[in-house]
A and B are shown apart, each in its own frame.
Chain A
Amino acid sequence: MGTRGLAAELDKLRTLPAIGFAIVGAVLTGVVIAGALVASAAAAGTPASVVEIVLAAVPFVQVPIIVLGVLPAGQEYDGRQIATTLVAMPDRARALAGKTMAATAVVGLGTALSVGAALTTGVIAAGVAEVTLTSATAPWRLAGAVGYLTIIGLLAHVVAVALRQLVPALVATLALIVVISPLSAGLTEHARWLPDRAASQLYADTDALLTTATGPLGALAWIAAIGTLAAVRFIRLDP
């Protein structure tokens, strides 16, 4: 039943057109942004490394990843499908576990594809545009970027389960990650505790206080807190 639940959730994601669009969007974002960043570097004559270019694309790529993270739970509330899901899988904890695993899988897929697309584009475009390439600093940061994007996708998932609505979950997560977080970072140093700021230590490692280890832990604490609230709502409340 555990694997059946996961298989059913993966079936749902595979047959939902919006998921396909979001994955294509994630790949296209990676390609377009990496291409644009290489072209700007070439135009400005500044040397860059392909790793730096891919990392600079991460703040843009996170937008389609948020969409991917919101959809697995959000689709249930876009209409009445949630009732069908719970009638078929009445054990709420298991249903939620299956859904969370499916969400992680689709977010991981989107992340890997978009970072891969950005990397490939960076390598090809840097060759074509004759950018002066510096030696790649810390290629492990690419893995950090994948980890960061996965965390952002999972955050979007728990927000969607907690809010039990599609568009509000999307707007709330987008507003937090791409509007409130950058705004408050310019206002107060406490903004480092926001989930995306903390998780960004995985690939940026710029904070004076948080490290590559503690930053992501801080972000996971956010996910655990919102996820617990979401799970309690999902398991206890009438849909």
Chain B
Amino acid sequence: MSAGRAHDRMVGMLLIDQLVKRHGTRTVLDHVGFEAHPGRVTAFLGANGAGKSSTLRILLGLDRPDGGTALVGGRPYRSLRDPLRTVGSMLDGSGAHRARTARDHLAWLARSNGIDRRRVGEVLDQVGLASSARVRVGRLSLGMGQRLGLAAALLGEPQALVLDEPVNGLDPEGIRWMRGLLRDQAAAGGTVLLSSHLMSEVADVADDLVVIAGGRIVAAGTLAELTAGYDRLEDAFFALTSGDGGARR
């Protein structure tokens, strides 16, 4: 079944190429490009406001780039049929309306992509929200809202996961659980792209690193390559992002 596996690899591959995004006269993304491969956890590192979320929003078809392309398995996200079955994503917490219950939120999402209703209960169990299924989203804590966002990402059993700051607000047990989840996804041949500014978290889970500063990619490679010559990832990060003055404007 090598042809089928090759197909799976294609489907899960994330390709960002020469992305440019401007807000007025401010250049938020300046020819950003990198890849995230199936079977690997790719960490997208950068300071607050460096352009991580802008890149992910374009990848997910929310914002339009002023130049360049972002492709999921060779296709723009907006052309995907039932995208939640291909890419599971989480931006900015739960993304649910405050007045709806956690279960109802997942139920309409499942319906919109033709996902079996059974998955709603399964992902609620998986993220540890089964007992809060009927709680209104506005009453969930920050960490629980984060878990609901993850449940939505896992709903369609996607080949790729795109997560913006996934460990935000999670307790130590939750962070450990998240690490296992990401490793399992990659081990099963899935693609994982996560953005983060937490170096210690990333060092424990990532295979590949992409570092962005001031809207430009300043480094990309495997964890071993980028940290070579430094004691810790954090030292490498600061050397990469501050050493090159041209990265900031």
Contacts and interface: CB of A to CB of B under 8 A. Distances in A.
Do these two chains interact? yes
A84 B62 contact: no
Contacts of B93: 80
A83 B92 contact: yes
Contact of B109 (A1, A83, A84, A90): A84
Contacts of A79: 96-98
Interface residues of B, number: 35
Given A80-B93, A83-B91, A16 B112 contact: no
A75 B97 contact: yes
Contact of A88 (B57, B79, B99, B112): B112
B126 interface: no
Contact of B99 (A7, A17, A83, A92): A17
B107 A11 contact: yes
Contact of A83 (B80, B95, B98, B104): B95
A239 interface: yes
B77 interface: yes
> How extensive is the interface on chain A, given as a class?
20 to 34
Interface stretch (B9-17, B81-89, B177-185, B200-208): B81-89
B100 interface: yes
Question: From DSSP, what is the main secondary structure of chain B's interface residues?
Answer: loop
Interface in A212-239: 236, 238-239
Interface string B53-64: 000010011111
A16 B62 contact: no
A207 interface: no
A7 B107 CA distance: 11
A11 B83 contact: no
A188 interface: no
B106 to A, nearest CB: 10
Contacts of A11: 104, 107-108, 111
A135 B13 CA distance: 73
A8 B111 contact: yes
Contacts, number: 87
B108 A15 contact: yes
A105 to B, nearest CB: 15
Contacts of B111: 4, 7-8, 11
B109 A15 contact: no
Contact of B97 (A78, A91, A239): A78
Nearest to A81: B97
A5 B97 CA distance: 17
Contact of B100 (A9, A15, A88, A239): A15
Interface string A82-118: 0111111111100000000000000000000000000
B43 to A, nearest CB: 21
Given A11-B111, A15-B100, A238 B64 contact: yes
B113 A12 contact: no
A85 B105 CA distance: 11
B109 A88 contact: yes
Contacts of A81: 95-97
A84 B95 contact: yes
Nearest to B107: A11
A16 B105 CA distance: 10
B62 A4 contact: no
A1 B111 CA distance: 10
B109 A16 contact: no
A15 B101 contact: yes
Nearest to B93: A80
B114 interface: yes
B49 to A, nearest CB: 17
Contacts of B123: none
A239 B62 contact: yes
The list of the 10 closest CB pairs from A to B, nearest first, reads A8-B112, A84-B95, A15-B104, A11-B108, A238-B63, A90-B78, A90-B61, A8-B111, A88-B112, A81-B97
Given A1-B81, A15-B101, 4 more contacts: A8-B108, A8-B109, A83-B92, A91-B78
Interface of A: 1, 4-5, 7-9, 11-12, 15-18, 75, 78-81, 83-92, 236, 238-239
Interface of B: 57, 60-64, 77-84, 89, 91-93, 95-101, 104-105, 107-109, 111-114, 152
